[in-house]
Amino acid sequence: MPLWAQVKDDVERRLRRGEFSESFPGEMVLVQEYAVSRHTVREALRRLRESGLVDAARGRTPKVANTEITQPQGTLYSLFASVEASGRRQHSIVRTLDARADGTVATRLGVEESTPLIYLERIRLIDEEPLAMDRVWLPARLAAPLLQADLTQTSLYEALDHRCNLRLTGGREEVRAVVPTSAERVLLGIPDNTAALSIDRTGELRGQPIEWRRTIVRGDRFSLVTDFTRPDQVSVTVSDRRYSMTF
């Protein structure tokens, strides 16, 4: 491998390990660390910039690029659409797509505990890096055509629209900080010192719940934003065992 490629690969490895979370070394620091020419370092930084990992330009100190996905609250959003809107590449690894019964989820959806449900479990990736794990349940009587869908490159809501003629009209979402399980840390590549967000969503069709979803998303790559200039869309609930209030 050429020298610039070796430098690029090692810097990328250090980036993904979180080594440069506070600050990114300048060109001359990298020249000294890797004992290469400035031209070699600049070529490595150029390739890292093209991959979206580093912001670097002549005359400016390189810095780690912002890889966080932001999502406004108060909307029935698709994670697929949010990633695409940010200009990043996304796809999913489908771990499970089948029909099953789940009494707890059935109760959440207001149906009999033995009701067949379509279950989808995916790892969502952004620029080939894990972002979130999705677990979704929907009534099989409405969503059975999804069993034949390729959900690696499309959003669930788009597939529901095209294959099942269903468009959700509303719902409710609860977001809380969680400590990921060891399996979730491995699947999402979450460092030991990084928290995660658990997003529980009930999607509705004209007031009837038809989707229950739990998403575990890396806390260092995703944030929710509230726009206080749109008070009609602000609904944040703060609660614990002692109190609960909405404002």
Question: Is 68 in contact with 52 (CB distance < 8 Å)?
Answer: no
Distances (CA, A) of 168 to 132, 155, 230, 232: 22, 13, 22, 20
Q: Rounded CA gap, 107 and 195, in Å? A: 29
Beta carbons within 8 Å of 153's beta carbon, 6+ residues apart: 91, 92
7-16 pLDDT per residue, tens? 988 888 887 6
54-89 pLDDT per residue, tens? 765 555 555 565 544 444 444 445 555 555 555 667
Quote the pTM value: 0.63
Q: Rounded CA gap, 86 and 222, in Å? A: 12
pLDDT confidence band for 22 (50 / 70 / 90): low
pLDDT at 191 (0 to 100): 81
Return the closest-CA partner of residue 48 out of 127, 130, 124, 126: 127
**Which residue matches tokens 């575990």?**
216
Mean pLDDT of 128-149: 93
**Which residue matches tokens 């490159």?**
153
Residue 144 has pLDDT above 70, yes or no: yes
